[in-house]
């Protein structure tokens, strides 16, 4: 890797391989101030597990990581004013694998008539976190308050409190929850369904659409809005065609951790090029005929360029699509930090609402 003085104009760690996020002039200083008390503005610490560690060791690590991350993220949502005029209820539906799938349904109390629905799939690399987490409850409330019905699916994870169920368990749950939502559009007051999620939820949003095409169920999906999608799968051996993996390496998380999460989602590595597991590998034929998409990425995210690559594939396949890059932000910051960067958080909510209304 070249020294910084050799390429002073290159961004991030491409210009200076020792750079940490708090020293990156592109970073929103409000984010840096919020992340500093947790050490998330600096280089990540060494992980207690490696790619060649046993699966039980990785699962133990994920369980502790999930608990720690949950506490950190919850702190960014505490103290926010409550969102009123939203009614909430849950439904439990039976999945194809015999498991129960909990669906969290949010709807504005003052709305009348059929409304667009956001079918939301939460982040966590498909291996941790929960739709019941405080931040995701807030996200669904925020969308509902803007005039949308929101259905959040509690799918099985590869690890953590909702694990240990590798691919395709979580995708199966997302598909079955979507089927129930589509079948009950009238009772729910839904006009059309948009699939949306961030990070691992972005992966599942894209994969659900690909699977719906395979199953001849695309009529269920009016559009897809994927944020910072975690879709590459091969972070242990990244190619040079995704420069953000080097440019933003170590910003708000290590590439090694992303690779470890991937091995928990697909422990036997049987799906490394399966687009239902890792949508990055979708072909143009896989993408042709899909409904409109939005691919939203974060400027300071190591995953940025895999999302942009997917966007370019969609365009080449003739899919109605647009992309947005949220400048100054790390991975999923426009979803996770409402009190820190409120204007950015609100802009993403507005864009999802505008996309849903446009279909």
Residue 204: partners with Cβ closer than 8 Å, 6 or more residues away: 121, 126, 155, 170, 171, 174, 197
Q: Report the C-alpha gap between 326 and 29 in whole angstroms.
A: 15
- Give me the chain's average pLDDT, please: 95
What pLDDT score was predicted for residue 7? 57
Tokens encoding 107: 């709807």
| pLDDT at res. 8 | 62
CA distance 262 to 278: 9
- Tens digits of residue pLDDT in 272-288: 999 999 999 999 999 99
The domain locations on the chain are 73-358
CA angle 353, 162, 150 (to 5 degrees): 15
Q: Per the CATH hierarchy, to which homologous superfamily does domain 73-358 belong?
A: Alpha/Beta hydrolase fold, catalytic domain (3.40.50.1820)
In degrees and rounded to multiples of 5, residue 219 shows phi and psi of: -65, -15
Mean pLDDT, residues 155-173 taken together = 97
Reading phi first (left if > 0) and then psi (alpha if -120 to 50, else beta), residue 126 is in: left
Mean pLDDT of 209-231: 98
pTM score of the predicted model: 0.96
Q: Predicted confidence band at 239 (pLDDT cuts at 50, 70, 90)? A: confident
């Amino acid at each position: 890797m070249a020294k910084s003085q050799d390429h002073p104009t290159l961004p991030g760690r491409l210009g200076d391989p020792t750079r940490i996020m708090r020293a990156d002039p592109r970073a929103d200083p409000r984010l840096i101030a919020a992340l500093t008390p947790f050490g998330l503005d600096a280089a990540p610490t060494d992980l207690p597990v490696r790619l060649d560690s046993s699966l039980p060791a990785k699962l133990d690590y994920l369980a502790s990581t999930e608990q720690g991350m949950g506490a950190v993220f919850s702190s960014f949502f505490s103290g926010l004013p409550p969102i009123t005029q939203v009614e909430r209820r849950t439904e439990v539906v039976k999945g194809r694998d015999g498991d129960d799938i909990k669906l969290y349904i949010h709807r504005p109390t003052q709305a009348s008539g059929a409304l667009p629905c956001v079918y939301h799939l939460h982040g966590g690399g498909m291996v941790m976190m929960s739709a019941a987490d405080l931040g995701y409850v807030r996200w669904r409330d925020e969308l509902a308050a803007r005039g949308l019905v929101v259905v959040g699916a509690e799918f099985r994870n590869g690890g953590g409190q909702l694990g240990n169920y590798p691919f395709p368990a979580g995708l199966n749950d997302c598909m079955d929850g979507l089927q129930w939502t589509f079948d009950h559009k009238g009772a729910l007051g839904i006009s059309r369904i948009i699939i949306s999620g961030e990070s691992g939820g972005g992966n599942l949003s894209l994969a659900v659409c690909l699977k719906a095409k395979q199953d001849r169920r695309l009529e269920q999906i009016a559009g897809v809005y994927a944020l910072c999608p975690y879709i590459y799968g091969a972070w242990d051996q990244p190619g040079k065609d995704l420069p953000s993996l080097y440019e933003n390496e170590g910003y708000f998380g290590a590439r090694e951790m992303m690779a470890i999460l991937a091995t928990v989602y697909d422990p036997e590595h049987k799906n490394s090029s399966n687009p239902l597991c890792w949508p990055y590998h979708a072909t143009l034929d896989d993408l042709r005929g899909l409904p409109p998409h939005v691919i939203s990425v974060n400027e300071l995210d190591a995953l940025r360029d895999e999302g942009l690559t997917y966007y370019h594939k969609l365009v080449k396949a003739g899919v109605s699509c647009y992309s947005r890059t949220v400048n100054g932000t790390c991975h999923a910051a426009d979803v996770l930090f409402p009190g820190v960067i409120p204007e950015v958080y609100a802009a993403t909510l507005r864009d999802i609402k505008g996309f849903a209304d446009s279909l």
